[in-house]
Structure 1
Amino acid sequence: MTRGTPRLSLTGSPLIRLLVRLAEVDAPDSKQAFAERLSHWLSWTDAISLSAALKSSESSAHPAPRPGGAAASGSPAQRPAASPEVLEANRQRAALEKTLPFEPTEARPRSSRPGHRPEPAPEAAVDFPSHRRHYFARQQAMDMTVTALRSHLRSLLAQRSPEMARLAAVDAVMEQALGERERSLLSAVPVLLERRFEQLRRAALVEAETAESSDLASSPTPSIVSDAAFPGAWLTTFRQDMHSVLLAELDLRWQPIDGLLEALRAQPLP
């Protein structure tokens, strides 16, 4: 990025803003309207399916009476306790969040003999491929969890009213139409993280080499600088960055879940 160039404002998702910050690039806002940008992601067959879902039950869809009158307005004092589907969604999200931090195997057993000390693992904690595998594994876990939960919530929503059934049908079409494109774009996130990894490691190497050169006069046999010898602060910083990106991606993937849960709250069972 050219020094002195003002960074353009960005109104995208937290994930996009975080990736832009880590990559240290300018990301201008799109001048296209949301509907225009979305049209580039939808094929003509997707458009037909979406139109059919929007028109389904249109003749019979009408506002269903909301039980409880004013009590169903959602005021904080009268809002009901969390529903079973909300509790289950929260449980599944919490389970995913627990698996997001990268936890390298610090040691591995060399022998099963009692009392034998474990052999330290090689540089698995300092290479990027191990981090890439972790990120892809977390993406797969998020994708499987969100897909299954989203389908379950749609089935619940379809039982509430014709309007809610239509909303569930629209969500199913959007998932099918946009899911593959979303997965393709998100698969590129580890590429950006690898650049961040190398950037931090190079900076640490330069710093270590500079510190070593200043001691050449007093040390006749200087040691060879190795990035495996000083994982230290730079690796901690990278893992914190990767964890933040995973959390932001989980937030992004969870948006349809939040929308379906809100629809279920707004249309309770009679």
Structure 2
Amino acid sequence: MAKTAQRTPVPGPAFIRLLARLAESNLSSTGPALSDRLSEWVDWTRAVTLSKALDGRLPPAVEGPDFDADEDAGCQRIRAVLEATIVQEPEPSRPVRRAVEAEATETPIEFAVYRERYVTVQRSMLGATSRLRGRLRDMLTRRSPELARLAEVDALMEQTLSAREHSLLAKVPVLLGVHFERLRDAASDAAWLEVFRRDMQSLLLAELDIRFQPIEGLLAALRTH
């Protein structure tokens, strides 16, 4: 009897592992798995050439507040707001509520409303984390020459990786849409929709973890110096 081929377990953060699990269910997909490409992207960050930041001039200090307990708490509040956006039930006018109403009236549920929500939350995460990352870098430049160098390294990494990050993460809703259709087509009752919502929520929370990794690194440097 032929043995079923099994994918090699994908290492890396929870976000990558979740994508791999969803991709394994979509047997008709072709080309390199998105989870594999994202895993390569995450690993590639360790190999970025940093000579420009390490050998160049230090960035000039920027006027602004210094890092303290209030700034630290503010960073945690930003993350808490983003998490709440992901886990809280949307208002009746929001996309997911419309999908629930469609289910109640036996109207076919389409993925478009969920894609709209996923992309909206992605944009919120991108905007908030980009602003926060830049603010923390400014605070690092005011601490010491060593931390100013770290700020320059982080700025270079963000500049180098941002286009690739945007391109790859923009494809996540496509994979999620395939997962949505597979669950819907295989379901015998409405329970599949709750399964999908939990998967989508878990994926957004894991993506938030990915986006906050550089921020946590900057915070660790500010807290210990």
TM-score, scaled relative to structure 1: 0.64
- How far off is 1:53 after superposition? 1.5
Separation in structure 1 between the aligned mates of residue 87 and residue 113 of structure 2, nearest angstrom:
13
1:128–1:194 Cα contact (<8 Å) kept: yes
| Other structure's SS at 1:100 match | helix
Report the equivalent of 1:89. 75
Q: Which has the larger radius of gyration?
A: 1
Separation in structure 1 between the aligned mates of residue 211 and residue 14 of structure 2, nearest angstrom:
12
Report the equivalent of 1:16. 16
Report the equivalent of 2:121. 138
| Other structure's SS at 1:137 match | helix
Report the equivalent of 1:235. 193
- How far off is 1:36 after superposition? 9.0
| 1:252 and 2:183 correspond | no
2:10–2:20 Cα contact (<8 Å) kept: no
2:176–2:200 Cα contact (<8 Å) kept: yes
Q: 2:159 aligns with which of 166, 173, 176?
A: 176
With over 3 angstroms needed to count, the CA separation of the structure-2 counterparts of 1:18 and 1:35, relative to structure 1, is closer
* Of 12-21 and 192-201, the range deviating more from structure 2: 12-21
Separation in structure 2 between the aligned mates of residue 35 and residue 185 of structure 1, nearest angstrom:
11
Per-residue CA deviation, residues 117-143 of structure 1 (Å, 9 max, x unaligned), is xxx954689210000000000000000
Which amino acid in 1 is paired with 2:211? Answer: R
Question: Which aligned pairs between 1:60-79 and structure 2 lie closer than 5 A?
Answer: none
Aligned length: 198
Q: Which runs of 5+ in 2 are unaligned?
A: 28-32, 59-67, 95-99
Separation in structure 1 between the aligned mates of residue 78 and residue 84 of structure 2, nearest angstrom:
10
Separation in structure 1 between the aligned mates of residue 88 and residue 123 of structure 2, nearest angstrom:
15
Report the equivalent of 2:53. 53
- How far off is 1:8 after superposition? 1.3
Separation in structure 1 between the aligned mates of residue 127 and residue 200 of structure 2, nearest angstrom:
20
Q: Percent identity?
A: 46
Which amino acid in 2 is paired with 1:254? Answer: F
| Greater fraction of residues in helix | 2
- How far off is 1:7 after superposition? 3.5
Separation in structure 2 between the aligned mates of residue 200 and residue 100 of structure 1, nearest angstrom:
21
Separation in structure 2 between the aligned mates of residue 170 and residue 10 of structure 1, nearest angstrom:
28
Which amino acid in 2 is paired with 1:182? Answer: E
| Other structure's SS at 2:86 match | coil
Report the equivalent of 2:5. 5
Per-residue CA deviation, residues 163-186 of structure 1 (Å, 9 max, x unaligned), is 000100111111111111101100
1:100–1:243 Cα contact (<8 Å) kept: yes
Question: Which aligned pairs between 1:115-194 and structure 2 lie closer than 5 A?
Answer: 121-122=101-102, 126-194=109-177
With over 3 angstroms needed to count, the CA separation of the structure-2 counterparts of 1:95 and 1:194, relative to structure 1, is same
How big is the alpha-carbon RMSD for the aligned residues of Structure 1 and Structure 2?
3.3
Per-residue CA deviation, residues 16-50 of structure 1 (Å, 9 max, x unaligned), is 111111221697989xx99994599x7xxxx5xx4
1:126–1:235 Cα contact (<8 Å) kept: no
Q: Which runs of 5+ in 1 are unaligned?
A: 59-81, 109-119, 208-229
TM-score, scaled relative to structure 2: 0.76
